């Protein structure tokens, strides 16, 4: 994915609201399942990671990307923007 593609996705994501929140329990199987469903349906989503520790949030975002095969587009504070192309939609 090029920087131009990422920039366009950041612009699209700006108006989105977080669709999944990972709470105090972290990345449970239920949270990951909801992220999978949201990525399949929307392709571009925002996820709220409730951890107060910045390093923990970075680790959680990386784990989500690994487990869902999504691309981390942007991470600002507690919000991470994820993208995964759905071949059935195109």
Domain presence at residue 11: yes
Look at residue 84 in the predicted model and tell me its pLDDT.
Answer: 96
Report the distance separating Cα 67 and Cα 12, nearest Å: 24
Instruction: Assess if residue 88 is contained within a domain.
Output: no
More confidently predicted of 47 and 87? 47
Q: How many domains does the chain have?
A: 1
Q: What is the mean pLDDT of the chain?
A: 93
User: Is residue 90 in a domain?
Assistant: no
DSSP per-residue codes, 18-72: EEEEE-TT-S-HHHHHHHHHHHHHHSEEEEEE--S-HHHHHHHHHHHHHHHT-EE
Residue % of the chain over a pLDDT of 70: 99
Please give the model's pTM, rounded to 2 decimal places: 0.92
CATH of the domain at 18: 3.30.110.60
> Domain for residue 27, yes or no?
yes
Domain span holding position 68 = 3-83
**What's the confidence (pLDDT) of residue 90?**
62
The pLDDT of residue 11:
96
């Amino acid at each position: 994915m090029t920087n131009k593609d990422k920039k366009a996705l950041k612009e699209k994501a700006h108006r989105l609201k977080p669709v999944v929140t990972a709470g105090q329990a972290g990345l449970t199987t239920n949270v990951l399942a909801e992220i999978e469903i949201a990525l399949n349906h929307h392709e571009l989503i925002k996820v709220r990671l409730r951890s107060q520790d910045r390093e923990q949030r970075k680790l959680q975002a990386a784990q989500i990307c690994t487990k869902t095969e999504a691309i981390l587009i942007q991470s600002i504070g507690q919000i991470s923007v994820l993208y995964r192309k759905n071949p059935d939609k195109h």
